[in-house]
């Protein structure tokens, strides 16, 4: 690897700073400089690389020690990098205990944190003047990912169904199918990120196509479509949104059970409990 001497000296704080450094500090600085340069070159090469095919993605299955569909709470992922399908050797963290009667906001703070994607999507919905059920659906649209990622729209809709309006449940469930289908009337395009995630030649399976066709003709089509429109594929790490911004909307549109989520004896309580204690062996 070639070293640009001037760039290196500048990076080290200029000629004068370098002259005051001892031999070891200089060696460390050169190593850092070269490591960064290498990373930049790898990223540039990746950016030029063509998208994988479905067959290439299938080939990767046996290279992982996890399955891609597993919930985010159940495996380690490097935060905020967006490369969460790569093997990293990162370990899971110890989760903080949850209160006896957990609320939705507690899940955001103690289990989904930082939940930047959900919070930024909901903020975007708010900025665009979408209705409160749509803002709530944006806030919750990928909530199923913490438990299980495959078919996350269906899991998310099921998790929230006892607590939110039918419209919000519909929007959460069908955003999964709609995101694969463009709608030029609202400038929604197929997300480029999916070429990377699913393969450039990916064709959604028949049940997704059928779900799309059902949703397309439904009275709440636009509510589900808006979730896909506020779904951000490029996250802004500088925008740190707090759940506090949505406490009023949650208060008006999410029926918080008095026993706490997980302990209210609904058909989905065990699913919330699984997120309360994902380290339980059985």
- Using the contact rule CB under 5 A, the part of the chain among 9-17, 41-49, 158-166, 223-231 near Fe ion is 223-231
Looking up tokens 């209210």 gives 264
Q: Shortest distance, CB of residue 97 to Fe ion, whole angstroms?
A: 28
Rounded Cα distance between 84 and 76, Å, is 9
Q: Shortest distance, CB of residue 117 to Fe ion, whole angstroms?
A: 6
Q: Shortest distance, CB of residue 153 to Fe ion, whole angstroms?
A: 6
- Using the contact rule CB under 5 A, the part of the chain among 36-44, 84-92, 165-173, 227-235 near Fe ion is 227-235
Residue 142 engages Fe ion in binding (rule: CB under 5 A): yes
Q: Which is nearer to Fe ion, 156 or 262 (CB)?
A: 156
- Using the contact rule CB under 5 A, the part of the chain among 16-24, 27-35, 231-239, 240-248 near Fe ion is 231-239
Q: Shortest distance, CB of residue 280 to Fe ion, whole angstroms?
A: 27
SS3 23: helix
Residue 109 engages Fe ion in binding (rule: CB under 5 A): no
Residue 231 engages Fe ion in binding (rule: CB under 5 A): yes
Q: Shortest distance, CB of residue 34 to Fe ion, whole angstroms?
A: 37
Rounded Cα distance between 269 and 5, Å, is 61
Query: Radius of gyration of the chain from Cα atoms?
Result: 23
Residue 180 engages Fe ion in binding (rule: CB under 5 A): no
Alpha helices in the chain (DSSP H): 5-11, 15-20, 23-48, 54-59, 104-110, 116-127, 132-140, 152-160, 166-178, 193-198, 206-216, 221-230, 247-253, 269-276
CB atoms inside a 10 Å sphere around CB 138: 32
Is the CB of residue 250 less than 8 Å from the CB of residue 104?
A: yes
SS3 66: coil
- Using the contact rule CB under 5 A, the part of the chain among 22-30, 82-90, 135-143, 261-269 near Fe ion is 135-143
Residue 167 engages Fe ion in binding (rule: CB under 5 A): no
Q: Shortest distance, CB of residue 165 to Fe ion, whole angstroms?
A: 19
Q: Shortest distance, CB of residue 172 to Fe ion, whole angstroms?
A: 9
Per 3-state DSSP, the chain is made up of helix, strand and coil in percentages (nearest 5) of 55, 0, 45
Q: Which is nearer to Fe ion, 109 or 142 (CB)?
A: 142
Size of the site for Fe ion (CB under 5 A): 2
- Using the contact rule CB under 5 A, the part of the chain among 68-76, 86-94, 102-110, 228-236 near Fe ion is 228-236
Question: What are the distances in angstroms from CA 33 to CA 3, 8, 23, 151?
Answer: 9, 7, 15, 43
Which residues of this protein are in contact with Fe ion, per CB under 5 A? Answer: 142, 231
């Amino acid at each position: 690897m070639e070293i640009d001497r001037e760039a290196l000296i500048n990076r080290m704080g200029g000629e004068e700073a370098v002259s005051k450094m001892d031999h070891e500090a200089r060696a460390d600085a050169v190593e850092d400089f070269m490591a960064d340069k290498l990373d930049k070159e790898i990223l540039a090469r990746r950016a030029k690389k063509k998208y994988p095919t479905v067959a290439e993605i299938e080939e990767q299955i046996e290279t992982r020690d996890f399955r891609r569909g597993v919930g985010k709470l159940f495996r380690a992922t490097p935060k905020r990098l967006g490369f969460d399908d790569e093997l990293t050797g990162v370990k899971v963290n110890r989760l903080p205990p949850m209160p006896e009667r957990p609320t939705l906001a507690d899940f955001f703070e103690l289990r989904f944190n930082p939940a930047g994607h959900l919070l930024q999507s909901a903020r975007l919905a708010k900025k665009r003047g979408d209705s409160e059920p749509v803002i709530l659906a944006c806030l919750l649209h990928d909530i199923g990912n913490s438990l299980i990622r495959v078919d996350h729209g269906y899991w998310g809709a099921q998790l929230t169904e006892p607590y939110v309006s039918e419209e919000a449940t519909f929007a959460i469930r069908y955003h999964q199918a709609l995101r694969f289908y463009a709608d030029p009337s609202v400038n929604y395009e197929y997300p480029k990120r999916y070429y990377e995630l699913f393969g450039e030649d990916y064709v959604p399976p028949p049940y997704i196509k059928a779900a799309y066709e059902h949703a397309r003709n439904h009275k709440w089509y636009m509510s589900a479509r808006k979730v896909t429109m506020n779904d951000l594929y490029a996250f802004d790490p500088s925008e740190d949104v707090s759940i506090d911004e949505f406490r009023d909307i949650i208060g008006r549109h999410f029926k918080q059970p008095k026993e706490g989520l997980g302990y209210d004896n609904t058909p989905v309580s065990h699913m919330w409990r699984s997120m309360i204690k994902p380290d339980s062996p059985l």
